[in-house]
Amino acid sequence: MRTAELVPSSRSVAVSLAVAVLFLLVYFVARESSLFAVRSVRVEGVRPPVARRIEAALRPLEGQNLFKVRGGEVARLATSLPYVSGATYDRAFPHTLRVRVELEQPLAVLRQGGLAWLVSRRGRVMARIAPRTRRTTPRIWLGQSVDVTLGETLGPGSGADEVGMLDMLRGARLASLVGSVHDVEGQWVYALRSGVELRVGTRDDLPLKLAIARRILSQTAVSRYLDVSVPERPVAGQESQLSG
């Protein structure tokens, strides 16, 4: 008797199927009609002037059905702007698409002759800038043979390695001290704003080398150079040995 009570009646099954079919029909009609067409795109999380430029880049989405909008297309359109690194979205029915973007984080200024660009932590060329602006931002000097394209990501041998070396400074809290970075026959050198060369050698054990350099620079007046390429035996000046 109790088992029979647990079995749904044919009427309740029919009602459930009818509701499911009706729901699918409504969804299909809503998805294929202009009932939920995108009429406005709102970009959130950035300053209004930047938001307006991103909204302009997302304008091709207007008129699309909200159900058909896909994250890949939103991200592709948003990241066509060189200073946008990613985008997510929400549907605000009936006609609004809300988009939240992530901006590239500036890291350095690329210099090539009289030209300058702002480059992000990911090595993406964000913007063309005047050469003498952003004076507190570290410089990366490129040869004339290197191709620099707005919106593209730098490759190995074309600035990407220098970007990686500068990005490593954030954890060591040395970024504010560095004016530029360069490679001398496979040995990396940070040029500090004080005029001191910080020689770290290869990238091996770089976090350790930077930690040692930071401690020495905070405790000792160093002139000319500080060599931590062998972290167990840091050397400052010409012959002075410093204990770890």
The whole-number pLDDT of residue 53 equals 97
- Residue ranges of the chain assigned to CATH 3.10.20: 11-103
Ordered mean pLDDT values, 10 residues apiece, the chain (244 residues)? 56 54 43 77 95 97 94 97 97 95 97 97 97 95 96 96 95 90 96 96 96 93 95 78 44
User: In angstroms, rounded to a whole number, what is the distance separating the alpha carbons of residues 97 and 75?
Assistant: 13
DSSP 81: S
Residue ranges of the chain assigned to CATH 3.40.50: 106-241
Q: What is the pLDDT of residue 172?
A: 82
The model scores a pTM over 0.75: yes
CATH of domain 106-241: 3.40.50
Structure tokens at 169: 């400074």
Answer whether CATH 3.40.50 is correct for domain 11-103: no
pLDDT of residue 191: 98
Tell me the three state secondary structure of residue 159.
coil
Phi and psi of 67, rounded to 5°? -65, -25
| Cβ neighbours for 10, distance < 8 A, ≥ 6 positions apart | none
